Homo-oligomer: A and B are copies of this chain.
């Protein structure tokens, strides 16, 4: 029963291979990266790659699904911290921005998209574990607010869609233009989320009825 040592050793190998593969895939794309490249960077041996992952596709799956975490936990937390819809949405937006700003995430999205032709199931599975899950989490938020009597225009489903669109479109643009066309500043994000909040009819409903009904400042036209 020499399980533990073997496991550890193999495990270290596995880690090194996955890390090397992820960075190489991100740099060069999947097709252009040869297994030799990966072995050269990770150390170890080609034979090990086949022993652990079966083949190149198997390795890709491990790499992608390890990194393809949904942001749902972050969304729950942002909600749990409390505050008005506006405050929560700004927090969520910050979290999503950080997540999608990661160049490795963009690179993986590129790979998934290019493989989505040959392997629809793979891509769809990625979609379900990321975008669809984010959507569901966000939808829950709007449902909560709706249930607690906060007025909004549009269904939770539609609002969640629109909110995420702001981020997917940025990832999309980044994937094509390699960041040439995009300003990822915090100010831009703030403006966009404020825009969303107006569209959703969520402009601060003062739960405390102390303040004025939100005098729209003309400062928005930057």
Contacts and interface: CB of A to CB of B under 8 A. Distances in A.
Q: Secondary structure at chain A's binding surface: helix, strand, loop or mixed?
A: helix
A105 interface: no
Interface in A182-222: 188, 191-192, 195-196, 198-201, 216, 220-222
A121 to B, nearest CB: 10
Interface string A126-138: 1100011000000
Contacts of A117: 27-29, 32, 107, 110
Contacts of A175: 113, 116
Contact of A162 (B31, B123, B127, B192): B192
B181 A131 contact: yes
A165 B176 contact: no
A69 interface: no
Interface of A: 27-29, 31-32, 107, 109-114, 116-118, 120, 123-124, 126-127, 131-132, 152-155, 158, 161-162, 164-166, 168-173, 175-178, 180-181, 188, 191-192, 195-196, 198-201, 216, 220-222
The 6 closest A-B pairs by CB, nearest first: A114-B114, A199-B199, A165-B169, A172-B172, A168-B169, A29-B117
